[in-house]
Amino acid sequence: MIRTRNTVLLLVVASLALILWDLRASNTTVRVAAQEIAAPLQRTATSVFAPFGSWARDVAQFSDPAVRVQAVGPIAANAPEGWATAIGRVVAADIAGDRASVTIDAGSDDGIQVGNAVLTTGGLVGQVAQVSADSAMVLLVTDPSSTVGIRVLPSKEMGVATGSGIGQDLEVAVLNPAAEIELADQVVSLGSPQRNGIPADLPVGVVQALDTSPAASGRNAGVRPVAGMTSLETLLVLTEQS
């Protein structure tokens, strides 16, 4: 009996791996390939602890463009005007220690390019770092290698937000040592001159902590990101400004 159950489980895992590999296989870098291999394994693990039938239906339904548009509706409602967009569902994650990235099931075939801003309901969560025909790796703002130009509102002081790891506040360095920054101030993106880069005024987070006194090199603040990075599902990619 145990041998039979093991055989059935092995067949289920193999079938899911083949289905999702066919959907997301690519010829990009090793890291992207590894994430795409990990995606079906993670989904398989999910199916073990949740009803398999429901999970399979969710995957099938999300391939319907109408379902994707409906799922991304709350995000699109707050997206900046004049941008072409693409919709992606998170299918894999590399979130451990000093790494914070996710893979979505949309890529260059959907107009996605390296450098594109990636949004969730609250605002900016990352930027496309690698892309293949039908998948893309999103470097989350909490990754230590992520840096985003920002402004603090209402003062409009400029600075840079750097990731500190998953579950940690962003480290924001404000250029002006005399900047008037308060707790609960809003932090938004500074903007990029590139047509496919991060536009200005996207919500990035909220100031949660401040240095005790200004320093000659500027001011530092801890900023809580707009969303929890471990619960991301449907994301909107700003592919190019029209």
Which candidate, 213, 235, 73, places its Cα nearest to that of 141?
235
> How far apart are alpha carbons 98 and 167 in whole angstroms?
11
Domain 2-139+229-241 is found in CATH 3.20.20.20: no
pLDDT tens digits along 170-198: 999 999 988 889 999 999 999 988 888 99
CB within 8 Å of 49: residues ≥ 6 apart: none
Please count the other Cβ atoms lying within 10 Å of the Cβ belonging to residue 187: 28
- pLDDT of residue 143 exceeding 90, the answer is yes
Cα 229 to Cα 34, 64, 140, distances in angstroms: 20, 25, 8
Check for a shared fold between 2-139+229-241 and 147-225: yes
pLDDT of residue 73: 85
Please count the other Cβ atoms lying within 10 Å of the Cβ belonging to residue 193: 5
Residue 162 has φ and ψ, to the nearest 5°, of -120, 140
pLDDT tens digits along 6-62: 444 444 444 444 444 444 444 444 444 445 544 444 444 333 333 333 333 344 445
Please provide the average confidence, as pLDDT, over all residues in the chain: 79
- pLDDT of residue 124 exceeding 80, the answer is yes
pLDDT of residue 192: 87
| Helical axes 52-62 vs 30-49, angle rounded to 10° | 140
pLDDT of residue 214: 59
Residue 42 carries which side chain, given as an amino acid letter?
Q
Residue with tokens 């990101």: 225
Largest CA distance in the chain: 72
Tokens of 120: 């969730």
> How far apart are alpha carbons 240 and 202 in whole angstroms?
15
Q: CA dihedral in degrees (188, 228, 77, 197; nearest 10)?
A: 50
> How far apart are alpha carbons 215 and 196 in whole angstroms?
35
Domain ranges (residues) in the chain: 2-139+229-241, 147-225
Residues 166 and 95 sit within 8 Å (Cβ to Cβ): yes
Tokens of 164: 């500190």
- The pTM (predicted TM-score) of the whole model is 0.73
Query: 58-67, 141-150, 183-192 — which is least confidently predicted?
Result: 58-67
> How far apart are alpha carbons 1 and 4 in whole angstroms?
5
Tokens of 48: 């073990």
Tokens of 220: 């530092």
pLDDT of residue 96: 79
Q: Structurally, what CATH architecture does the domain formed by 147-225 represent?
A: Beta Barrel (2.40)
Residue 163 carries which side chain, given as an amino acid letter?
G
